[in-house]
């Protein structure tokens, strides 16, 4: 198993606080020592930091914790390998270009009996995980359904992806984060929750390490920031738990579809 973290915000926001909690689970408070990655959208641009070593020991994770990158959408993942060896090539998030946007994806869970289903050619996995193959199959299916040009109605695309995720869930545990740089989708099989922070902002305390933040000092009154995680990251806020088969779509921090 692995742990997921994501953020959708209406203003460029750093995720240092939440990532600091998540990174502890990569070797200190959790067993997810088989690599980690984090992908930041800055406008349409995207950059992903990855390491095959535990996040709690990674030089690059130290940089992410100390250097606040302001971003509207973030997807992060810490890995405990089940399918695919410990290697950079198998480290989430995975990214592909479609319709002139970078699509970024991370998966928590394990699938079985998927090779017959996930036939792909236009999008091929580079590594050896069930996760990346499922991502390629989703994008391949989307292109077959909607063609090579981005449709006007992106809601229809995410509805279609939710249907694909329902199919994948028949093969095992499929908790997914997916973004095209505009919308952030969360699909739940068994472990996914979220919180939306907005004014009046208060203090939050990390579960995994001794850090408290006062969001009222870090934000403006109009900020709206949603954080999604496998398990709650703070112990003094009300996280909303997703149900099996439930999905939610966020844009600029707000829930826009489910």
Q: Which of 21, 84, 125, 253 binds a second copy (CB under 8 A)?
A: 125
Question: 3-state secondary structure string, the chain?
Answer: CCEEEEEEEEEEECCHHHHHHHHHCECCCCECCCCEEEEEEECCEEEEEEECCCHHHCHHHHHHHHCCCCEEEEEEEECCCCCCCCCHHHCCCEEEEECCEEEEEEEECCECCCCCCCCCCCCCCCCCCHHHHHHHHHHHHHHHHHCCCCCCCHHHHHHHHHHHHHHHHCCECCEEEEECCCEEEEECCCCCEEEEEECCCCEEEECCCCCEEEHHHCCCCCCEEEEEECCCCECCCCCEECCCCCEEEEECCEEEEC
Cα 76 to Cα 32: distance, rounded to the nearest angstrom: 13
Q: Which of 13, 20, 46, 129 binds a second copy (CB under 8 A)?
A: 46
Asked whether position 105 contacts a second copy by CB under 8 A, the answer is no
Cα 152 to Cα 175: distance, rounded to the nearest angstrom: 27
Asked whether position 124 contacts a second copy by CB under 8 A, the answer is yes
Name the residue nearer to a second copy (CB basis): 127 or 172.
Answer: 127
Q: Which of 8, 18, 23, 50 binds a second copy (CB under 8 A)?
A: 50
Asked whether position 70 contacts a second copy by CB under 8 A, the answer is no
**Least CB distance to a second copy at residue 132 (A):** 10
Q: Which of 10, 12, 42, 80 binds a second copy (CB under 8 A)?
A: 42
Per-residue interface string for the shown chain with a second copy, residues 128-167, x marking contact by CB under 8 A: --------------------xx------------------
Q: Which of 1, 11, 16, 60 binds a second copy (CB under 8 A)?
A: 60
Name the residue nearer to a second copy (CB basis): 67 or 220.
Answer: 67
Asked whether position 12 contacts a second copy by CB under 8 A, the answer is no
Half-sphere exposure at residue 49, Cβ-oriented, CA atoms within 13 angstroms: 16
Asked whether position 122 contacts a second copy by CB under 8 A, the answer is yes
85 belongs to the catalytic site: no
The residue annotated as part of the active site, out of 2, 53, 188, 193, is 2
**Least CB distance to a second copy at residue 9 (A):** 17
Name the residue nearer to a second copy (CB basis): 86 or 207.
Answer: 86
Residues designated catalytic = 2
Which residue ranges make up the site for a second copy (CB under 8 A)?
42-50, 52, 59-60, 63, 67, 87-91, 96-97, 99-102, 121-127, 148-149
């Amino acid at each position: 198993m692995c742990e997921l973290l994501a953020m959708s915000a209406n203003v460029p926001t750093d995720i240092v606080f939440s990532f600091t909690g998540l990174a502890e689970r990569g070797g200190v408070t959790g067993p997810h020592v088989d690599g980690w990655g984090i992908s930041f959208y800055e406008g349409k641009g995207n950059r992903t930091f990855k390491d095959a070593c535990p996040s709690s020991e990674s030089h690059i994770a130290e940089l992410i914790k100390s250097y606040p990158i302001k971003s509207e959408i973030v997807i992060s993942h810490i890995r405990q390998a089940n399918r695919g060896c410990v290697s950079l090539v198998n480290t989430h998030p995975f990214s592909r270009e479609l319709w002139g946007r970078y699509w970024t994806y991370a998966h928590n869970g394990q699938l079985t009996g998927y090779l017959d289903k996930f036939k792909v050619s236009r999008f091929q996995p580079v590594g050896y995980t069930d996760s990346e193959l499922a991502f390629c199959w989703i994008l391949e299916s989307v292109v077959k359904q909607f063609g090579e040009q981005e449709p006007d109605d992106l809601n229809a695309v995410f509805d279609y992806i939710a249907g694909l995720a329902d199919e994948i869930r028949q093969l095992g545990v499929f908790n997914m984060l997916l973004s095209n740089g505009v919308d952030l989708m969360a699909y739940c099989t068994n472990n996914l929750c979220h919180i939306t922070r907005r004014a009046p902002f208060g203090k939050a305390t990390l579960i995994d390490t001794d850090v408290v933040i006062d969001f009222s000092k870090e934000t403006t009154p109009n900020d709206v920031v949603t954080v999604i995680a496998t398990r709650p990251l703070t112990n003094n806020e009300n996280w909303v738990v997703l149900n099996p088969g439930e999905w939610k779509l966020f844009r600029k921090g707000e829930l826009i579809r489910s």
